[in-house]
Amino acid sequence: MRDHGFTILEAKHGVIVLNINHIGDEASYGNIYVSDYQGIKFSLSLENNARDSNGYTDFIRIQSLDGVYIAN
């Protein structure tokens, strides 16, 4: 699978959360992937998460609840 860009959304306790754009520079969405606890193997967590051409995504970490996020 080819990527055209990615955004690191979170990197904490060895777990990495990425938004990867597989479409192209003007894509309005990407897919969110979450790694295992070692940051090596990734699994698809959410398809079609909103993003702009600068890589900003609609993904928010809830400060008071560790490991809880809101995404569209």
Q: Render the chain in DSSP notation, one character per residue.
A: ---SEEEEEEEETTEEEEEEE-S-TT-SEEEEEEE-TTS--EEEEEEEEEB-TT--BSEEE-TTSTT-EEE-
Task: Indicate the burial class of 29 (C-beta count within 10 angstroms; 0-12, 13-18, 19 or more).
Answer: middle
Q: What is the pLDDT of residue 53?
A: 78
Q: What is the pLDDT of residue 2?
A: 67
Predicted confidence pLDDT, tens digits, the chain (72 residues) = 666 788 999 998 889 999 998 887 778 899 999 999 988 999 999 999 998 878 789 999 898 988 889 998
Count up the domains in the chain and report the number: 1
Q: What is the pLDDT of residue 3?
A: 65
pTM of the shown model: 0.84
Structural domain containing residue 9 = 5-71
Q: What is the pLDDT of residue 42?
A: 96
